[in-house]
Amino acid sequence: MDMKLKGHVASILQTAAALILGTGTTTVMATEPCGDLGECKAFIEINSTDGDIGFHFLMDGEDLNSGQITDPNGAKVFEDQAKGPLRAQKLTETFAESAEPLCWDDPEADPEDEILTLEEFLDRWAEGTYVFSGKGDGGEKQTGETELTHAIPAAPVDVAFDGSVISWDAGNDLGRCATFEELNDLVDDDILLVHPGEVTVAAWEIVLEPDVEDGDPTGQLEFNVRVSGTIAPKEMTVPADYLASLPNDTPVKIEVGAIGVDNNATFTEVGGFCVNEVGGCED
């Protein structure tokens, strides 16, 4: 879905303190530290608008030459090995995301594209303990464990932007990945233990991103912030200084993500907005 995990992970690492202050809990930081590792996380991310789904993980250790992850069944799902100059300099933080196949039958998609329904995804990525491990020069091992849950928060709805304020509301489904009724069926069949509409939102992530062509430096001028899940009303004023830094007639899109206490996230994207409009943004 390309929810730019630079934005997602940066929020996890850089704004966690703000989240703690806002919610009065450290639940979202439960895997810091992670055994011998500084941090380890495994989580699910959904783009409800495009209708795609992915598995993401983060491992942070010290002076590692290699790293691996095993799933709750003991199967190895990831392995990384530093070579040459990278082995000499060592690994610390490793972040990766899976491919993000469509979770719905998009009539405009390439017929050869993989379709992975929510039920199939949950079967592929079992709920439970994922073991992270890495080794250094002397063969010393650093290990840690984190829990992957299937508690996925519902997609934000009614995302809007009036030129200065971004607003949204809590939803009760996963957009194109699963309707409210389909999710009820998964709960009834014990495939999901909790309906996404009932999953607690620990934080909201709000992104305003210039919707420009690749290579346009304006595309790097992204506004990204994470706020407490208890914020009321659900809105965020975009700093005037940031908006003034954008060129006239800049098309932008808004992304709002619901982040659960286990870091699982569901994002909703809305485009077609125009910032600093003078002559109008091109369609």
Last residue of a domain, one of 148, 176, 193: 148
Structure tokens at 86: 């990278």
Cα–Cα distances in angstroms (integers) from residue 105 to residues 48, 78, 118, 176, in the given order: 13, 28, 12, 9
How is residue 213 written in tokens? Answer: 């062509």
Nearest CA-CA partner of 267 in 198, 212, 209, 207: 207
Q: What φ, ψ does residue 88 adopt, rounded to 5°?
A: -65, -35
Q: 99 and 29 in contact (C-beta within 8 Å)?
A: no
Residue 261 in any domain: the answer is yes
Q: For residue 223, give the CATH number of its domain.
A: 2.60.40.10
Distance CA 268, CA 170 (A): 11
Judge whether 36 lies within some domain.
yes
167 and 201 fall within a common domain = yes
Report pLDDT digits (tens) over 162-191. Answer: 999 999 999 999 999 999 999 999 999 999
Task: Count Cα atoms within 13 angstroms, Cβ side, for 201.
Answer: 28
Helix ranges, the chain (H): 5-14, 16-23, 84-89, 118-124, 180-188, 240-244
Does 247 sit behind a cis peptide bond, omega within 30 degrees of 0 on the bond before it?
A: no
Domain final residue, candidates 118, 148, 178: 148
Residue entry with tokens 């690492």 = 13
98, amino acid identity: S
Q: Is residue 21 part of a domain?
A: no
Cα 185 to chain centroid distance, Å, stands at 25
Q: Where does residue 190 fall: left (phi above 0), alpha (psi -120 to 50 degrees), or beta otherwise?
A: left
> Does the residue 25 lie in any domain?
no
d(Cα 87, Cα 243) in Å, to the nearest integer?
43
Contact 260, 226 (CB under 8 A): no
Instruction: Categorize the per-residue pLDDT at 33 as very low, low, confident or very high, splitting at 50, 70 and 90.
Output: confident
Same domain as 185, residue 86: no
Q: Is residue 281 part of a domain?
A: no
Q: What is the pLDDT of residues 100-110, one digit of tens each?
A: 999 999 998 88
CA 13 to chain centre: 12
Boundary-marking domain end, from 117, 148, 179: 148
DSSP state, residue 29: G
Q: Residue 268: beta bridge partners? A: 256
User: What is the residue range of 206's domain?
Assistant: 157-275
Query: Per-residue pLDDT tens for 242-265?
Result: 999 999 999 999 999 999 999 999
**Sign of the alpha-carbon torsion through 95, 99, 104, 107:** positive
- Point out the least confidently predicted range of 18-32, 38-52, 202-216: 18-32
Please report, for residues 12, 91, 264, the alpha-carbon distance to residue 203 in angstroms, rounded to integers and kept in the order given: 10, 30, 11
Structure confidence at residue 8 (pLDDT): 43
Distance in angstroms (rounded) separating the CA atoms of residues 61 and 137: 13
Same domain, residue pair 200 and 258:
yes
Q: What's the predicted TM-score (pTM) here?
A: 0.87
End-to-end CA distance of the chain: 22
Do 128 and 207 sit in the same domain of this protein? Answer: no
**167 and 189 in one domain?**
yes
The answer to whether residue 23 sits within a structural domain is no
What is the pLDDT of the chain when averaged over all its residues? 89
Beta strands in 211-249 (DSSP E): 223-228, 235-237
Question: Is 210 in the same domain as 116?
Answer: no
Report yes or no on 170 lying in a domain.
yes
Number of domains comprising the chain: 2
Residue 60 · residue 93 · CB < 8 Å: yes
Specify whether 80 is located in the same domain as 203.
no
Please give the share of the chain, as a percent, with pLDDT higher than 70.
88
Same domain for 133 and 9: yes
If asked whether residues 11 and 139 sit together in one domain, one would say: yes
Residues 44-74 pLDDT 10s? 999 999 999 999 999 999 999 999 999 999 9
HSE toward the beta carbon, residue 11, CA cutoff 13 A: 25
